[in-house]
Structure 1
Amino acid sequence: MLVRQGLSYMIGLALLLGLSATGSATVSATASATVSATKASPAWVDESNCKSCHQQADQQWRNSHHAKALTPANNDHKLPLGELKATEQPAWLIGYEPLQQVLIANPDGRLQAHHLAFATEQQTWFDLYPEVADNPDHPLHWRQPVHLANTQCLSCHVSNYQTQYQPKTDTFASSWQQLGVGCQSCHGPAGNHQADGGGFELSLAASDQQLQVCAQCHSRRNELLPFQPNVGVHQQFLISPLRADLYEVDGKILDEVFEYGSFVQSRMHQAGVTCSDCHNPHSGELRAPANAVCSQCHNPAGTPKLIADTPRTIDFNKLQGQAFASPAHHFHPADSAGAQCVNCHMPGRVYMGNDLRHDHSFSSPNPAQALALEHSDACLGCHQDKPAAEVVAAFARWYPDAEPRDGGYAQALYRAREGLPGAAEGLLKQLQAGQQPAIRHAALLAELGHYPSLAAQQQVAAGLTHPDAWVRRAAIEVAPALFNPAWLMPQLSKLLADPELAVRMTAVEQLLAQDYPFKAAAEGAALAEYSELQQHHLGTAQGHYNQSLVAATLGFEAQVQHDLQAALQRNGHYIPALIGLAQWLEKSDTKAAQQLLVSAQQQQGEAAEIAFALALMLIRQGEMAAGLEQLQQTVALAPDNAHYSYVLAIALYDNGQHEAAMDRLRTALAQAPQQRHLRLALWQYSNDINERERLMEQLRQLNPFDPLINSPARY
């Protein structure tokens, strides 16, 4: 039955793509153009021939981190690999400085990134995950799929990487053209160039095109397609937005997000500065040492003297002539740490144990704002030995006219995320002004779901047709919180034909979440495109899980279960597939469904998502007491999750525990005052007129445009 159902499923997809049942004839133009390579694509070539014409570039590159991004573990590096070889066979070393991680080769072609890394400066081994080193079943243990280099790492450490997952045997035959990040990783395949000496298909002369190439790896992103030259990042990747768990509220890096997301927020980027204006693209080193790289532009004369190989179109109209590399500007002794531009304007964070990476938003210190908005600050970070008030006073004395240089962005975002008075007005003011970089505009738009109003709807509706993909993606994701499905679904359907792949796929996922039927031909083509993209990810649990969503939409029930089980075979800890399979089984075998979640909970006891899914299942099956117990456990595991607290409160109230329900809402609301549904639930449940008036007044201060302000009886 499963085989027959699978055949029907494939025929259904073929029909969506515009294929006949035999696989011939008319492929959808959109899907084909996106997923398939260009007809006359140049060939990838042996890069050892490049040096015959490009000797200087080759010599610079050979000593770079790019060249040494992946090297054989043959101990030419003189790493003390003995303790590893006793139990595992090191195959490759990933990275060069300040640390190298060992890839262990398995017979099935899997390359696993070992938890031990080598600190090159200290010449010592250290453990990246010491808390799980002795627990091979833990999701973060090096043997688990999260550390599978074939799908997680290698595409940014070699040229022309091909995953080559073999689904029939669950093995990998991964391959690449060149070890390390070579010429063609940035310039594209060189077959035509090598044949006639002409230019590449991909020109890096334009600032934005160069940035797009660097962003392929220097960004936090999910890969949609393997590297394709001549297409932008939104045609290949889902770049992570400025989420609170990834970036600080002022835009500086927080989690391991690399450089792109911070840089595109910067005034440098807005003026046309790009990567190679500061970095030699072949050696990776700075164009000039220390402050000299900054004084190319930021000098007393205000006259730019760029060292870059290619002339740039940079807007220097706002460039100020000033002696920035002077105690008169930075108020620190010359040659001290405080005199270095990078320490004040590009503060860094340490990742992977010892890897210092600098923020690229080129922010200016502001210790008073940092304390008020709870973000890091260069001054406070360096002078931790001094009281914060003393640092703030010194800064105010040195820079009495200093103002935040972001136009109020950080303050507006902070108020919105913290649920402070003026939150909605601050967001709308920023969005209506339209002065922020697109990635920041998207971050502001994403918060509007907590602050519904006609003006918020207008901003999100405009965002759906915004010229920038960042904003369109954000609008797609926040829109369900503000619009009814009757209006929204047709608008999202239009975006299935968006020119950017990332936007189309975001629209598909949002429509899948809304159980949209995808009946029109163009809609079916987009769904088929989404399904075809998952073929690139069948070595991961996520790829199979996404396929299950498509199968469910098409009505192929056996295929849904097959895909969910395949996802768990790739990664038994993948929570969306665990919950999805349990919910699917619940339709026919409630006992098996419940047992699946119980077993998962025993293995991943700290996963609140599993406890929550089990709680809802128990309640659906009429086991209210057991369900409430699981909801209590869920909230204990994730006390900051407002949705879990909300559901627990509703369940308590429906079970007659009214005071307990309201206490839960009060506690959750104190932790997350931006969560409108908590406030309205408490307002509805409370019999205390003073509390109800106070809640409505708080709502008015947060969002005076809320439709319930003038007609609370509608709730």
Structure 2
Amino acid sequence: MKKSLLLWALLGGTVPFAASLIIAGCGGSGGPLKPPDTGGNGGGTSSAFLQLLPAAQKDATYVGSDICRTCHETGASGAPVVDYAKWEATRHSQLGIGCEQCHGPGSVHAAGPSDENILSYPNLARSEVCAQCHGPMASDFHSSPHAEVVEDVVGSATPSKTCLRCHSAPFRADYVDAPLLEGKTADEVDAAIQALSADKVAAFAAASKESASCVNCHSAMRDTPYLSWGTGKQYHLLREETLLDTSALAAGTPVKTYSTINQMCGACHNNRGGGSNDATLTSSTVRPTFHHGPQFPMLMGVGGCEEGGSPPPVRTTAHASAPGQCVRCHMPDAKHTMVVNFDKSCAPCHTPGDAAARYAIRGAIEARLVALLTRLQNWSKATFGDPDLWNYTSYIPTGKTAPNQSLIPIQVKRARHNYYFVLYDKSYGVHNSTYTRYLLDLANANLDAIGVSRAAPSRLSAAQVKAILSEELRKAREYVRRETE
């Protein structure tokens, strides 16, 4: 789903989509009660799934998993080896979910094995495969941002191997998640990715329809050691849901490390090795040193600029140590919309009333962030005669010339780092109110040190403040898009 289609999905577009996934075997239920019928005529499979099959597979018939096993258990004729014993131990196998429920009918492939006559990556990673049985969960998923792609990444003339590790569901599934599950090291994963041809990378980018899909969080093929934090049950999770170790969030961490963090959401929602000391802020002036989703570092109280003041006395809140961390709040009742709900996400730690009251912190942080933006603009206006020239060079509006960055005091560089760190986290204090306040306090203290006057108390309404921050995020995305053109 393209980003422009998200509103359509939220307004009801998922209804006909979900209807196409209602199948005879599972009835679109939340769990695999019965596998789709593979009796030879394809009955029970969804139309959305059938559309994923390669042309050479369209007329194939079902032959059963035992036929697949003759080659894939031993690797005969160069077939990828599958550990059937691990598959047989899964709930999928016990319910009769075989190879062809996910890979499609295999008669043509069995007669002449080829990547062109069996459903494999990249389309194998599409959520429509799992939606044959997990209908309501798939409907939830399709109203979430994970069901989108960032067009600037996957539509680039030269797609980046680094970016696709988190912005392409099939690329990550095939080249990161699956190898890690098989026991490959981060070095081995990275080496294999670096060896990919430009054409291969471009093909995966072109086939990417979702940034993250079911198979980026769950394995269909084996049980894993990562049990659900809430129930202790086996949901084939690919990573831990809770991680307190922040070593992989350190400045200078390479992509092979930060893209394989063993935390379900933190493997992508991190600062991606961005530094924040004075030397880094002096040398890195084109754009912020971190990426657009530093939610996990914010949760853990690391990644902001702490120069020019004392370290934070307390880095985290109870949200960081709560079992489940991100999924505890963003997936109440296993909802895959990722939307937080006061009644369920915040319980039992907070009553709905208490949660709503604490949420007011967000409004205060938003107002403080706009006040910091105003101070930066005022400094720029006083120094350069233009309110926009405080920013990173690639963030300067078209038609304006960025000043020599040596003219930007280090105090301003520290403040703008923290401004964007809080802005890009997008929780405005909910993830970590303690660290968010600390970063804003320190940013303001740095501006105080060079005589930048404090902005007058804002008379903007809450709606106006939100509109300003939404526009700031939109402009930041536009700056990135401009760089990729």
Q: Which structure is higher in strand share?
A: 1
Q: Where on the TM-score scale, by shorter chain, does this alignment land: which range? A: 0.3 to 0.5
Q: Which structure: larger Rg? A: 1
Answer 1 or 2: higher relative contact order, Cα 8 Å, separation at least 6: 2
TM-score, normalization: structure 1?
0.24
